[in-house]
Amino acid sequence: MSQANPTSRARLTPKQKLFISAYCSNGFNGTQAAIEAEYSKNSAAEIANENLRKPHIVAAIDEYKEAIANKHEVTVNTLITELEVARQKALDAETPQVSAAVSATLGKAKLCGLDKQIIDHRSSDGSMTPGNFNDFYSEPQPES
């Protein structure tokens, strides 16, 4: 298990501890976690954003997630294996369940990080600048 700063837990307020628990339990919805931790509904999104930028809170979230994964013996490999078994069962059923098989395949892709669409915004020279930048933008010239 990774070790956060040893003082990180000691520095957590009771509300921050509730936030971490709620955040990890609700599918990682920061705003909802802040509301569940009894922060103001009006400022919940802002509080969540602030909390998720604090290194000791991020470290505590990582510890919490790792502890849960270890407790239930969950790894990416075990999840992929379970999804493959489910996919095969769906395809081998008397009436093949193609939708379930596709869902299992997409689950595997997501676990492997293959579900992200990558958009390359670089120009042909590798920079982020359009080829003829000066054609699009030029400093205003003083009137003569």
Which pLDDT tens digit goes with each residue over 13-49?
999 999 999 999 988 999 999 999 999 999 999 999 9
Tens of pLDDT, residues 37-93: 999 999 999 999 999 999 999 999 999 999 988 888 888 899 999 999 999 999 999
Q: Which of 9, 37, 7, 39 is nearest to 23 (CA)?
A: 37
Q: What are the residue ranges of CATH 1.10.10.1400 in the chain?
A: 14-71
Model-level pTM? 0.56
Q: What is the pLDDT of residue 93?
A: 95
Who wins on pLDDT, 11 or 119? 11
The domain 14-71 is placed in CATH, from the list 1.10.760.10, 1.10.3720.10, 1.10.150.120, 1.10.10.1400, at: 1.10.10.1400
User: How far are the Cα atoms of 91, 93, 108 from residue 86, in angstroms, in the given order?
Assistant: 9, 11, 11
Q: What is the pLDDT of residue 126?
A: 66
Kindly tell me the sign of the dihedral angle through the C-alpha atoms of 66, 67, 73, 74.
negative
Could you give the CA distance from residue 78 to residue 72 in angstroms, rounded to a whole number? 11
